[in-house]
């Protein structure tokens, strides 16, 4: 029995999860400093995530969930797709 697969849309654009975090903070009027305090993390960590220099770990995802009410799975999925896209892009000739 043959199974049908739905083609997936892929883009060459790669956006680190920190860009989504920055947009969410802006939409809510929350500063990186306020988020860092809520998560009990150094501001440098939050800034590195926003700038795309630091990955969102499972621990950070859970802290974001508690601070923003956005499920940890959302943040982990963003990170996973970002990492996959980087690998695919670097593997292209």
Mean pLDDT of the residues in the chain: 91
E strand or H helix that includes residue 54: none
pLDDT tens readout for residues 11-60: 567 899 999 999 999 999 999 999 999 999 999 999 999 999 999 999 99
- What is the pLDDT, as a whole number, of residue 10? 57
What is the Cα–Cα distance from 76 to 93, expressed in whole angstroms? 28
* Alpha helices by DSSP H, 2-71: 17-28, 32-39, 43-50, 58-68
Dump pLDDT digits (tens) for 67-82: 999 999 999 999 999 9
Angle at 89 between CA 57 and CA 16, to 5 degrees: 35
The pLDDT of residue 43 is 98
Backbone φ and ψ for 70, nearest 5 degrees, come out as: -105, 125
State percent of the chain over pLDDT 90.
78
Distance of CA 20 to the CA centre of its chain: 6
| pLDDT confidence of residue 79 | 97
């Amino acid at each position: 029995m043959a199974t049908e697969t739905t083609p997936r849309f892929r883009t060459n654009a790669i956006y680190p999860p920190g860009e989504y975090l920055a947009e969410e903070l802006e939409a809510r009027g929350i500063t990186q400093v306020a988020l860092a305090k809520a998560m009990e993390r150094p501001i440098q960590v939050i800034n590195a995530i926003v700038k795309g220099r630091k990955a969102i770990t499972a621990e950070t995802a859970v802290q974001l969930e508690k601070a923003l009410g956005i499920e940890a799975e959302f943040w982990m999925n963003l990170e996973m797709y970002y990492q996959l896209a980087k690998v695919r892009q670097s593997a292209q000739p």
